[in-house]
Amino acid sequence: MTTAADVIQLANESGVKMVDLRFTDLFGKWQHFSIPARALSEELFEEGIGFDGSSIQGFQSIQESDMLLLPDPATAFVDPFLDVPTLAIICNIFDPITRQPYSRDPRYIAQKAEAYLRQTGIADTSYWGPEAEFFLFNDVRYQVEPYMSFYAVDSQEGWWNSGKDLNPNPGAQIPPKRGYFPVPPADTLQDVRSRIVLALEAAGVHVEVHHHEVASAGQAEIDIRFSTLTRTADNMMIYKYIVKNVARQHGLTATFMPKPMFADNGSGMHTHVSLWKGAVNVFWDEAGYAQLSDTARYFIGGLLRHAAAVLAFAAPTTNSYRRLVPGYEAPVNLAYSQRNRSAAVRIPMYSKSPKAKRVEFRPPDPSANPYLTFAAILMAGLDGVQNQIDPGEPMDKDLYDLPPEEAARIPQVPGSLGEALAALEADRDFLLKGDVFTPDVLDTWIEYKRANEVDAVRLRPHPMEFVLYYDV
């Protein structure tokens, strides 16, 4: 167990001059401020340090703005990007008056979900393995005004550059949906991804694999090794930070936006989860379908029943629902199946080991706040186990190519963020168990998303509407 003294020793041995204190806001952005290394003391880890909570979206009102950060020593790492040697530490948020954890701190919600799992007696520990995809573009431009709007992205790999006079044009651009797995020189980003991996490993985030993804124009995937719920969410915040900064070092721009381009695959964050009691994987049963135990089947049942509400956190942007459409390998069908990537829940079959048995929930995307997303997935699954929700029969067929009458019988994910928020409003009791999510958090999330995202997109003319309707 890493202690405050260990962190201070790491700072001294690394020649650290600054300490960067980081926390995640309600909507999944990393925030930070820095203090001189001389201020790093064991008292800091016990007493905390103050900040203005009213300046953070979704946090405090002005009359209750004072909040505390308490650094978690287990999360410290030396930042690989800053010229001034800097130690980064992830913090929890506390109320300075009550000294209680802050209800809207996403990391606290994740920790409460882990505590609730133990309280149920179903399992002691959950393990999480997210597969976050992203794009590395050479250029991005966008602007929105009352009288105009546009966006433009470009990549040297983009298929639209194959006919341009680039003096010279090297060719080998990647056609749409053909980016999985060409070797260099078609894959121009091998070294960039490798440098991201090395930076992640140096920060203590272990990596399983990296590769080019399906889409043209620099889509990539780097899979990090599984860990416990809160620690995996921490690792996802470090992951996004490192991806963006290595990209910038190479003159590229990284985006975790789920669907930045039309007519090609979007970026998902397929999420693997398993539950363990001591050294036993409670999802494993050699006699079950795909070697799944009844606990695992009920977990899937809860996940499918509550999927629409879960997606208010797991696919939390209006852009998420540009990705969740048929035809682009997107998991829109609320069904489960072994090996089958057209189902929302897939049972990987790579290994026959009981240790490897897990459930993969495929609709989430990397715009999500990982703390809230993993907590919501866990709570939905646990509700399934507690109420023995039967997921029905598995669908071991291509769900994208079903006859219309059969396809109509399979429930689908919500078609918009607005629909997902309405589902969360109607189906929230499973999240409130154990005080993991609170009504205050859910209400704040719904109100903010509707006012600042759903309406922001809904009320504006779209460029395609000029193509369709200008000459009516």
Contact 88, 353 (CB under 8 A): no
Structural domain includes residue 136:
yes
CB contact burial 401-423 (16+ within 10 A = b; e otherwise): ebeeeeeeeeebbbebbbbbbbb
pLDDT beyond 90 at 315: yes
pLDDT in the model for residue 342? 77
Q: Is residue 306 annotated as part of the catalytic site, yes or no?
A: no
Q: How confident is the model at residue 61 (pLDDT cuts 50, 70, 90)?
A: confident
Choice among 79, 221, 383, 453 that is catalytic = 221
Q: Cα separation of 344 and 284, whole Å? A: 20
Contact 277, 285 (CB under 8 A): no
pLDDT in the model for residue 350? 83
CA contacts within 13 A on the Cβ side of 160: 11
Rounded to an integer, the average pLDDT of 267-272 is: 98
pLDDT tens digits, residue range 137-162? 999 999 999 999 999 999 999 999 99
Task: Report CA-CA distances (Å) from 40 to 31, 69, 83, 283, 336.
Answer: 19, 13, 19, 43, 49
pLDDT tens digits, residue range 182-202? 999 999 999 999 999 999 999
What percent helix, strand, coil does the chain show, rounded to 5?
Answer: 40, 25, 40
What's the mean pLDDT when you consider all of the chain? 95
Contact 351, 262 (CB under 8 A): no
pLDDT in the model for residue 32? 97
The 3-state DSSP class for residue 10 equals: helix
pLDDT beyond 90 at 399: no
Tokens of 267: 């970026």
Same-domain pairing of 95 and 131: no
Q: Is residue 406 annotated as part of the catalytic site, yes or no?
A: no
Choice among 72, 105, 114, 133 that is catalytic = 133
Same-domain pairing of 346 and 409: yes
Match 């089947």 to its residue by tokens.
297
Contact 273, 381 (CB under 8 A): yes
Structural domain includes residue 115:
no
Q: Cα separation of 159 and 157, whole Å? A: 6
The 3-state DSSP class for residue 129 equals: strand
Last residue of a domain, one of 67, 102, 137: 102
Structural domain includes residue 147:
yes
pLDDT in the model for residue 208? 96
Bridge partner list, 210: 222
pLDDT beyond 80 at 176: yes
Contact 182, 198 (CB under 8 A): no
Q: How many CB atoms lie within 10 A of CB 275?
A: 26
Bridge partner list, 134: 220
Structural domain includes residue 199:
yes
Q: Is residue 46 annotated as part of the catalytic site, yes or no?
A: no
Choice among 157, 213, 285, 453 that is catalytic = 213
- Cα four-point dihedral sign 193, 357, 117, 315: positive
Domain that holds residue 362: 125-469
Q: Is residue 13 annotated as part of the catalytic site, yes or no?
A: no
> Which amino acid belongs to residue 356?
A
Q: Is residue 43 annotated as part of the catalytic site, yes or no?
A: no
Q: What angle do CA 343, 313, 427 make, to 5 degrees?
A: 85
Same-domain pairing of 427 and 341: yes
Antiparallel, parallel or unpaired: β 86-94 and 219-224? unpaired
Q: What angle do CA 385, 386, 387 make, to 5 degrees?
A: 90
Structural domain includes residue 107:
no
Residue 93 backbone dihedrals phi, psi, to 5 degrees = -110, 135
Same-domain pairing of 388 and 335: yes
Look up the CATH number of the domain holding residue 323: 3.30.590.10
Same-domain pairing of 206 and 86: no
Choice among 105, 212, 362, 383 that is catalytic = 362
Same-domain pairing of 272 and 389: yes
Closest CA to 228 of 78, 120, 378: 378
Choice among 360, 365, 383, 453 that is catalytic = 360
Closest CA to 44 of 85, 12, 7, 9: 7
- Cα four-point dihedral sign 185, 186, 190, 193: positive
Give 357's contacts (C-beta < 8 A, 6+ positions apart): 274, 281, 283, 284, 291, 292, 296
Choice among 178, 195, 210, 341 that is catalytic = 341
Contact 101, 92 (CB under 8 A): yes
Same-domain pairing of 240 and 369: yes
- Cα four-point dihedral sign 197, 198, 202, 208: positive
Q: Whole-structure pTM over 0.75, yes or no?
A: yes
Choice among 22, 104, 193, 270 that is catalytic = 270
Same-domain pairing of 153 and 54: no
Give 219's contacts (C-beta < 8 A, 6+ positions apart): 133, 134, 135, 136, 179, 212, 213, 264, 265, 267
Match 């922001």 to its residue by tokens.
456
Q: Is residue 471 annotated as part of the catalytic site, yes or no?
A: no
Q: Is residue 133 annotated as part of the catalytic site, yes or no?
A: yes
- Residue percentage of the chain with pLDDT more than 70: 99
Domain count of the fold of the chain: 2
Same-domain pairing of 149 and 88: no
Closest CA to 444 of 3, 26, 20: 26
Same-domain pairing of 315 and 354: yes
Please give the residue that has the higher pLDDT: either 242 or 393. 242
pLDDT tens digits, residue range 347-394? 998 888 999 999 999 999 999 999 999 999 999 999 999 999 999 999
Contact 338, 346 (CB under 8 A): yes
Q: How confident is the model at residue 309 (pLDDT cuts 50, 70, 90)?
A: very high
Structural domain includes residue 76:
yes
Q: Is residue 64 annotated as part of the catalytic site, yes or no?
A: no
Look up the CATH number of the domain holding residue 54: 3.10.20.70
Q: How confident is the model at residue 242 (pLDDT cuts 50, 70, 90)?
A: very high
Structural domain includes residue 352:
yes
pLDDT in the model for residue 234? 98
Same-domain pairing of 97 and 132: no
Choice among 131, 234, 285, 383 that is catalytic = 131
Structural domain includes residue 111:
no
Same-domain pairing of 199 and 262: yes
Q: Is residue 114 annotated as part of the catalytic site, yes or no?
A: no
Bridge partner list, 77: 88
* Alpha helices by DSSP H, 270-362: 294-305, 307-314, 320-323
The answer, yes or no, to whether the previous bond of 101 is cis (omega within 30 of 0) is no
